[in-house]
């Protein structure tokens, strides 16, 4: 069997002889959300030596959620439990997972160099699955009052607002979900949105409109968060009428979107104007060999998966799917022509 | 060495009147970032055992101290020295953030 032979050959490779006493992995996966962990499952099952740089805070965005109701076959599972299962699954097939943060990469030559807060390592291929993080508003008072009434994670912080008055900023599915979680604790929840309609899915909007504790303030943006040791008031401006007013709130949850976690890759792979990693499609004609790899970045041997390149679907299941694709591409790349 | 548990009832004695600096980890069983912070705080508690004590307080069972210090997000760790707050880390930002908090305020 050809495949078997190739794998055996790879396993017999001195995989830990990367020169200078540093081991060289077949696949280094950066990130430990659904994309990274699914990639780890496929890479290890393809007999590639695989390390996952999981970060000190592993598991990605799902660790900050409660119930996940749209992951096939696991309705009602909690986000953290889903990630624990994925992690156990990846470990079962031999992935090495380290709770270390990446501090630098060098993709300019092979093997690729990666530095974490604890070690230097080298790898023949890399899968970037660092995901995305909360986008903050960047208005006055936000930084100062973060964790003191200003939050981006209702499942984490909602219990502190029992019987209180809270606001949610945003109009997507995440904002609807945060508002609904908050109704279990807060007395009143006000969703503040800059447009006159939500972009959330119909089913989420319906739930929000049916919930008596939730009211909506349309066409309004936040100008400032006010308070000394904790949040006391939010100044909002109605952009249609141009009027500003201050409203008292005990807490505010910001869910206006996400920004890709790609700072560390600047200058290493091509990013788009919003910082998302660009897949190789542009280069397809120039580098025909690369064109075969759907999940390749602009650097051969460096692949991408999940929210760090995908601002369109952003689901646990699509991230997992992209992780699978990236790992299959990486395995094929390692086998060579 | 595991981390000592403090409560509303013995907070004054074990934290505020302690002669050594005390780092209090405000946490809850439902908080996942708190679980990630736990092994790091345990390691730091061993490494810094000559300089300070690290303790934890369950926010669900001890609402008085939680409210007194305006803890509205967890994990929150507050460093106390001679009965007063000298530094605070809100959220889990990894080992370095805790080390920075301790270094900055102990030296």
Q: Which of A64, A117, A229 sits opposite B70 (nearest CB)?
A: A229
pLDDT digits (tens, 9 = 90+) for A111-143: 999 999 999 999 999 999 999 998 999 999 999
Pick the last residue of a domain from A254, A276, A295: A254
Pick the last residue of a domain from A254, A273, A296: A254
**B30 and A161 in contact by Cβ < 8 A?**
no
> Are A22 and A159 part of one and the same domain?
no
Distance from CA of A150 to the nearest CA of B (A): 9
Mean pLDDT for the stretch of residues A5-14: 38
Active site residues of A: 153, 156-157
Give pairs for A142-146: CB < 8 Å, separation 24+.
A142/A225, A142/A254, A144/A225, A145/A225, A145/A227, A145/A230, A145/A231, A146/B73, A146/B90, A146/B91
**CB distance from B78 to chain A under 8 Å?**
no
Residue indicated by tokens 């995305």: A132
A66-90 in b/e form (b: 16+ CB < 10 A) is bebeebeeeeebbbbebbbebbeeb
pLDDT digits (tens, 9 = 90+) for B31-61: 888 988 999 999 999 999 999 999 999 999 9
Residue indicated by tokens 């592993």: A58
**B72 and A101 in contact by Cβ < 8 A?**
no
**DSSP run (H or E) holding A173:** helix A173-183
**DSSP run (H or E) holding A258:** strand A258-260
**CB distance from B33 to chain A under 8 Å?**
yes
Structure tokens at A123: 């790898």
Q: Which domains does chain B have, with CATH numbers?
A: 4-106 (3.40.30.10)
Angle formed at CA A20 by CA A14 and CA A26, multiple of 5 degrees: 40
Structure tokens at A158: 């909602």
Using the predicted structure, report yes or no on whether residue A333 has a pLDDT greater than 50: yes
pLDDT digits (tens, 9 = 90+) for A61-79: 898 877 888 899 999 898 9
> Are A18 and A130 part of one and the same domain?
yes
What is the domain extent for residue A166?
150-254
Distance from CA of B15 to the nearest CA of A (A): 21
pLDDT digits (tens, 9 = 90+) for A305-326: 999 999 889 899 999 999 999 9
Nearest to A152 by CA among A299, A46, A279, A258: A258
Give the number of domains in chain A: 2
Cα–Cα distance between B72 and A161 in angstroms, integer?
8
**CB distance from A64 to chain B under 8 Å?**
yes
**A117 and B96 in contact by Cβ < 8 A?**
yes
What average pLDDT is seen over chain A? 89
**CB distance from A11 to chain B under 8 Å?**
no
pLDDT digits (tens, 9 = 90+) for B18-36: 999 999 999 999 888 898 8
ipTM attached to this prediction: 0.80
Q: Confirm whether A24 is domain-assigned.
A: yes
Give the mutation candidate from A66, A67, A148, A152 for the B interface (greatest B CB count, under 10 A): A148
Please report the pLDDT score of residue A14 as a whole number: 35
């Amino acid at each position: 069997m050809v495949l078997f032979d190739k794998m055996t050959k790879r396993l017999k490779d001195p995989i830990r002889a990367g020169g200078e006493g540093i081991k060289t992995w077949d696949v280094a996966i950066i990130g430990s959300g659904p994309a990274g962990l699914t990639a780890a499952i496929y890479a290890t099952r393809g007999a590639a030596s695989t390390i996952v740089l999981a970060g000190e805070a592993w598991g990605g965005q799902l660790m900050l959620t409660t119930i996940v109701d749209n992951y096939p076959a696991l309705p009602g599972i909690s986000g953290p439990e889903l990630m624990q299962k994925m992690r156990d699954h990846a470990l079962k097939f031999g992935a090495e997972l380290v709770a270390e943060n990446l501090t630098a990469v060098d993709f300019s030559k092979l093997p690729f160099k990666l530095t974490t807060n604890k070690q230097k390592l080298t790898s023949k291929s890399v899968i970037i699955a660092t995901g995305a993080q909360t986008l903050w508003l960047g208005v006055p008072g936000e930084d100062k009052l973060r964790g003191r009434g200003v939050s981006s994670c209702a499942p984490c912080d909602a219990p502190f607002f029992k019987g209180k008055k809270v606001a949610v900023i945003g109009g997507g599915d995440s904002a609807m979900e945060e508002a609904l979680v908050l109704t279990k604790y807060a007395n009143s929840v006000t969703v503040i949105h800059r447009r006159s309609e939500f972009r959330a899915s119909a089913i989420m909007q319906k739930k929000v409109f049916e919930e008596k504790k939730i009211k909506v303030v349309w066409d309004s943006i936040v100008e400032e968060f006010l308070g000394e040791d904790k949040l006391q008031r939010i100044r909002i401006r109605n952009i249609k009428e141009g009027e500003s007013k201050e409203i008292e709130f005990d807490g505010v949850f910001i869910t206006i979107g996400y920004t890709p976690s790609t700072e560390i890759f600047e200058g290493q792979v091509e990013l788009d104007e919003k910082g998302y990693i660009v897949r190789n499609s542009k280069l397809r004609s120039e580098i025909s060999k690369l064109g075969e790899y759907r999940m390749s970045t602009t650097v051969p041997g460096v692949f991408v998966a999940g929210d760090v390149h995908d601002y369109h679907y952003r689901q646990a299941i699509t991230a997992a799917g992209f992780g699978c694709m990236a790992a299959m591409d990486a395995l094929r790349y390692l086998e060579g022509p | 060495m595991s981390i000592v548990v403090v409560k509303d009832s013995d907070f004054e004695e074990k934290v505020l009147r302690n002669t050594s600096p005390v780092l209090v980890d405000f946490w809850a069983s439902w908080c996942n970032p708190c679980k990630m912070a736990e092994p790091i705080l345990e390691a730091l508690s061993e490494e810094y055992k000559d300089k300070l004590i690290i303790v934890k307080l369950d926010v669900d069972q001890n609402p008085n101290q939680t409210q007194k210090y305006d803890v509205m997000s967890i994990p929150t760790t507050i460093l106390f020295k001679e009965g007063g707050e000298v530094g605070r880390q809100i959220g889990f930002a990894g080992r370095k953030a805790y080390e920075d908090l301790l270094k900055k305020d102990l030296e």
